[in-house]
Structure 1
Amino acid sequence: MQHIIDRFISYVTVDTESDPNSDTTPSTAKQWDLANKLVDELKAIGLDDVTIDENAYIMATLPSNVAHDVPVIGFVSHFDTTPDFTGANIKPQIIENYDGGDIILNADQNIVLSPGYFKDLLQYKGQTLITTDGTTLLGADDKAGITEIVTAMEYLIKHPEIKHGKIRIGFTPDEEIGRGAHKFDVAKFGADWAYTMDGSQIGELEYENFNAAGAKITIKGKSVHPGYAKGKMINSMLIANKFISSLPKEEVPEHTSGYEGFFHVTGITGSIEESVVQLIIRDHDSKKFAKRKKLIKKITDKLNRKFEKQFGGDIITAEVKDQYYNMKEKVEPVFHIIDIAEQAMKDLDIKPLIKPIRGGTDGCQLSYMGLPCPNIFAGGHNFHGKYEYVPVESMKKATDVIVRIAELTALPK
């Protein structure tokens, strides 16, 4: 397992934070640092057709070693990390034979990773964990996935007795800002189906995700000297508050789970003259998703009617843009790709945890681009923050799942 540890650490110590405010691809120049390193490594382990395009999308091939026809399968991960928390100067800590107690991430700042709060830790007692030092995220999302794919390909190259068909791998930038699949060339990739290695705890297998939209609510106001404002001033910040208060109070991320959708206010800026509310809309059910978007319009129309005379027109504009859709619709017609992944886990004594993703992955967008692409665990926990960690044994198991999927796919019909 030391090989996996060394490879993973070599990836996470390269800062690849993406930037939603950039209009380039990749969104940050530093993503090229790891992208170019990966290209060199893929060539070094012996993969064919290693390419990187002008947008840092990486593809490579492991040729088939069987004579009969086998579907071409793919494995995909992303190399950027979220802008939600810093990914600069990551200093991973290795906890061997975890004893089930508190892990001191940073003594100076009293930052503790505790099973009292993060109960999932207890299922990894006795294993080797890689954590942060409490000042950065770790980057297991999704450098654990990259580690597993590269390691699996290297293993298959070194073990030609394991039979497999043609395998394509792809690494993308900017997944964390929703653009990972935007410039992915599905035709060039040329796979019948693929799997993203981008899930969390061991056993996860996901083919359902949220339908997603983003909304920008712009509220106008009128600024008047407060001493003479009666009947004249319109404070846009107070109307923004009315808008937010009109959303269902319990349908927020902190009160929902499973298949429950939500509205999530992600940002607000304001002055008397203008306020802007940013929010995201999520639901697995397409009808409920449409209903949520209609509610935004209903609230907007209601407040516009209320202030129409005083303001002299519409006081609120709502821009709602769909972001991605539930991949279930595209995966169910080819459900054997789920059966194969589930069987691979069972063959390795891993209990499959089939559940909906409360988010999205490159796979959901790729599925709508013609590449059915469910999601498999990469092993990490507590993504996007200082409490992120990954059990090394989970990365090893994910690597084994990739190898087993390749074997199962190559079995003669």
Structure 2
Amino acid sequence: MFQEYSFTVAERFLHYVQIDTQSDPENMAFPSSEKQKDLSKILVSELQQIGLSDAQIDENGYVYATISSNTDKKVPVICFCSHVDTAPDCSGSNVKPIVHRHFTGEDIVLPDDNTQIIRVKDYPYLKQHIGKDIITASGLTLLGADDKSGVAIIVDMANFLIAHPEIKHGDIKILFTPDEETGRGTEKVDLKKVGADFGYTLDGGECGTFEDETFSADAAKIIVNGVIAHPGYAKGKLVNAIKIAGEILDALPKNEFSPETTEKREGFVHPVRVSGIAEKAIIDFIVRDFVTDNLAKHEERLQNIAEEIASKYKGVTIDFEVKEQYRNMKDILVKYPKIAEYAKIAYEKAGLSLRNEPIRGGTDGSRLSYMGLPCPNIFTGMQAIHSKHEWIGVDDMEKAVEVLVRLVQIWEEKS
């Protein structure tokens, strides 16, 4: 069945990545960039052409669609979700995707900037793609596999199921979100419109990986209130808040407590933005840990560092603010073991051995799980995301399509 099918996932992906959908973390509008809707409108049209007549985009840029049940059984409604936006970390304008046919195993020099070299020693997963097709950008931009690969996989799954009505399944919901990269991807989602019991995001990495655990995440803000005076008459009076902010950053631990010094299940605190004037300076942080209770410990340590620095300067005060971002979805997903159990069977039927790994980050699934839609993460194949070295294997995307088809079959069979 799959051997005879002409997958459309790579063709769709090559089209999608050329549409600039970069989100803007500085813009509090929703979506944060209107250009995200450019892709969403195309997706609605493609889904309608496939046969999903209810495909629609709402005013916030969300795409909703349904693959209707073709079984007499009562089957839980499953949602597949991916995000259309690309990360603000690296340019997403004028992406020029390149298909490297039958990858030879040699380092790849990207043509538009010869200093950008995708080296096999840096990305050993490339060795598993020798003789296969991979896709990169040209050296000036990210590729956009995060998460347009997930989008393309879901659309091709829909195409496959409509073309193969003999495959029995329940109602399947499709959800494409904006602004995942700004952390706001589920902010205005209508879960009643989605109408699903369980979900899976398509936003993972290596083929065969399955992720049902994420960081728990907070945002922290240190506000340094300095003492202002006219600089011409400032002796003994002025205390510059910008300089205090610099001291706080310099006082952060150098060998731990940061993303550049941690791995696996270790948490971290990471400064992401500094702004201000002599009177007041602001440092924004993200705080991450797999154990939710550890967030408060990290934040207390950070606050103590800031207040210790400030205490050396007369008149300087510190305001410390914390805002919840998302929580470890594992705490929800353990209550619904069938979600992972059926995924494992689907992977095995597709010839894969499921590798369960925690995400050192978050997905839309983190928040969706806490909003009432339990939602782990399935692989797409994307690698070196948010960078000019981003690449993806065509075989990985096609295998993900197969996993989704088998997964909806299993939900129907087990019902």
For 1:198, the equivalent position in structure 2 comes to 203
Aligned positions of 1:221-260 closer than 5 A: 221-223=226-228, 231-249=236-254, 250-260=256-266
Deviation sequence 1:75-97 (CA, Å, 0-9, x none): 00011111111111111011011
Structure 2 gaps of 5+ residues are 1-5
By how many angstroms is 1:315 displaced?
A: 1.8
Structure 1 gaps of 5+ residues are none
For 1:402, the equivalent position in structure 2 comes to 404
For 2:360, the equivalent position in structure 1 comes to 358
By how many angstroms is 1:225 displaced?
A: 7.2
For 1:367, the equivalent position in structure 2 comes to 369
Aligned positions of 1:308-327 closer than 5 A: 310-311=314-315, 315-327=317-329
By how many angstroms is 1:412 displaced?
A: 4.3
C-alpha contact 2:7 2:156 (8 A) present in aligned 1? no
For 1:39, the equivalent position in structure 2 comes to 44
TM-score by length of 1: 0.94
1:105 corresponds to which of 106, 110, 114: 110
Aligned positions of 1:6-405 closer than 5 A: 6-106=11-111, 108-223=113-228, 231-249=236-254, 250-307=256-313, 310-311=314-315, 315-405=317-407
For 2:23 and 2:306, the matched residues in 1 are separated by: 33
For 2:318 and 2:292, the matched residues in 1 are separated by: 26
For 2:71 and 2:272, the matched residues in 1 are separated by: 51
TM-score by length of 2: 0.94
By how many angstroms is 1:383 displaced?
A: 0.7
C-alpha contact 2:40 2:61 (8 A) present in aligned 1? yes
By how many angstroms is 1:204 displaced?
A: 1.6
By how many angstroms is 1:4 displaced?
A: 2.2
For 1:108 and 1:163, the matched residues in 2 are separated by: 48
Give, as a single letter, the amino acid of the residue that structure 2 aligns with 1:123: Q
C-alpha contact 1:106 1:112 (8 A) present in aligned 2? no
Give, as a single letter, the amino acid of the residue that structure 1 aligns with 2:34: A
Deviation sequence 1:346-374 (CA, Å, 0-9, x none): 11121222111111110000011000000
Over 3 Å counting, the alpha-carbon distance change for 1:2 and 1:162 in structure 2 is closer
Residue 384 of structure 1 aligns to a residue whose secondary structure is coil
For 1:281 and 1:112, the matched residues in 2 are separated by: 32
Give, as a single letter, the amino acid of the residue that structure 2 aligns with 1:177: T
Shifted more, 276-285 versus 239-248: the winner is: 239-248
Give, as a single letter, the amino acid of the residue that structure 2 aligns with 1:321: K
Residue 161 of structure 1 aligns to a residue whose secondary structure is coil
Residue 368 of structure 1 aligns to a residue whose secondary structure is helix
Give, as a single letter, the amino acid of the residue that structure 2 aligns with 1:340: Y
Give, as a single letter, the amino acid of the residue that structure 1 aligns with 2:207: I
C-alpha contact 2:213 2:357 (8 A) present in aligned 1? yes
Deviation sequence 1:179-225 (CA, Å, 0-9, x none): 11111111221111000001111112111111111122121323567
For 1:245 and 1:107, the matched residues in 2 are separated by: 37
Give, as a single letter, the amino acid of the residue that structure 1 aligns with 2:183: G
For 1:355 and 1:297, the matched residues in 2 are separated by: 32
By how many angstroms is 1:298 displaced?
A: 2.6
By how many angstroms is 1:397 displaced?
A: 0.5
Give, as a single letter, the amino acid of the residue that structure 2 aligns with 1:330: I
By how many angstroms is 1:376 displaced?
A: 0.6
Alignment RMSD, CA only? Answer: 1.8
C-alpha contact 2:244 2:310 (8 A) present in aligned 1? no
For 1:86 and 1:242, the matched residues in 2 are separated by: 31
Give, as a single letter, the amino acid of the residue that structure 1 aligns with 2:304: K
C-alpha contact 1:346 1:352 (8 A) present in aligned 2? yes
For 1:248 and 1:372, the matched residues in 2 are separated by: 36
Residue 49 of structure 1 aligns to a residue whose secondary structure is coil
What percent identity do the matched residue pairs reach?
Answer: 44
Shifted more, 216-225 versus 205-214: the winner is: 216-225
By how many angstroms is 1:147 displaced?
A: 0.5
